[in-house]
Structure 1
Amino acid sequence: MEPLQPARRANGEHTRFHTAHMAANLRRIFYTFVWIIALVSSSRTRIYPPNEAPPKFTKIPTDQIGVSGGVASFVCQATGNPKPTVYWNKKGKKVNSQRIETIEFDEGAGAVLRIQPLRAPRDENIYECVARNSEGEVSVTAKLAIIREDL
């Protein structure tokens, strides 16, 4: 198949109509490319996919003072997309003890840390709540101090 040839006069020159028509088509093509480039450039400034977000705390634990033999509870909750997983650390390691209970809520996006019975100095520490999803990780800490009854 042969490419289309522009209309020519008998002397071989392009007609004015055809030249103007070609110029208009070239302008349309140019502006289409400019529009496509602008669209692609602006879309690169967005985070893909646009609905994903790193974790952000909606509830943070507060420092507490407990009484030896009593109970302490810390609450932590986060939001994000995908929904983050929340867990607790003590001294940089996941909390793991028979006296320390972790209760998850909001499909794992929230967690309560419950310590019972409190014992000083074993439970006196800084506890860390960590929220993690595929977009990132955030953490917040709370301190537990314990008053001994025998003093």
Structure 2
Amino acid sequence: MKISGYIHLDLISGSRLRQEDYAPRIVEHPSDLIVSKGEPATLNCKAEGRPNPTVEWYKDGERVETDRDNPRSHRMLLPSGSLFFLRIVHGRRSKPDEGSYVCVARNYLGE
């Protein structure tokens, strides 16, 4: 199984831009992973910006549900912005984790 990551960065100017504020910038990009079923995995993503950006993950274009959305989720959004899988799921009863993942960082200046 291959899990891929890529980053798309757009800058949007704000009308009330404070001099010290700046748009998010990815400083640690996710990399391709090959993980066995049932094993843990981490897709790294770290962003900086001011104000601090929020980070969301998308898999094949759909937002990834994490423990913040559902306490029973096997995926956790770490404080750094990385996506941690308690175990990689691949089965008939649940949606497999295999796919292309995108890390998106946002603040009021853009993503």
Shorter-chain TM-score: which interval? 0.5 to 0.7
What is the Cα-based RMSD across aligned positions, in Å?
2.0
Q: CA deviation at 1:56?
A: 0.5
Choose which of 70, 84, 101 in structure 1 pairs with 2:39: 70
CA distance in 2, matches of 1:123, 1:70: 12
Q: What's the counterpart of residue 109 of structure 2?
A: 135
Greater RCO structure (CA 8 Å; 6+ sep): 2
Q: CA deviation at 1:48?
A: 4.3
Rg: which structure is higher? 1
Structure 2: stretches of 5+ with no match in the other structure = 1-15, 67-72
Q: What's the counterpart of residue 87 of structure 1?
A: 56
**TM-score (normalised: structure 1):** 0.51
Choose which of 60, 77, 84 in structure 2 pairs with 1:114: 84
CA distance in 1, matches of 2:18, 2:76: 36
Structure 1: stretches of 5+ with no match in the other structure = 1-46, 105-109, 138-151
Number of equivalent positions: 86
Q: CA deviation at 1:116?
A: 2.9
Tell me the amino acid that sits aligned with residue 115 of structure 1.
F
More helix per residue: 1 or 2?
1
> Structure 1 residues 87 and 48 mapped into 2: Cα distance closer, same or farther (>3 Å)?
closer
CA distance in 2, matches of 1:90, 1:48: 32
Tell me the amino acid that sits aligned with residue 75 of structure 2.
I
Percent pairwise identity:
33
**TM-score (normalised: structure 2):** 0.67
CA distance in 2, matches of 1:49, 1:114: 34
CA distance in 2, matches of 1:135, 1:69: 39
Q: Does 1:55 align with 2:24?
A: yes
Choose which of 95, 99, 106 in structure 2 pairs with 1:125: 99
CA distance in 2, matches of 1:81, 1:111: 15
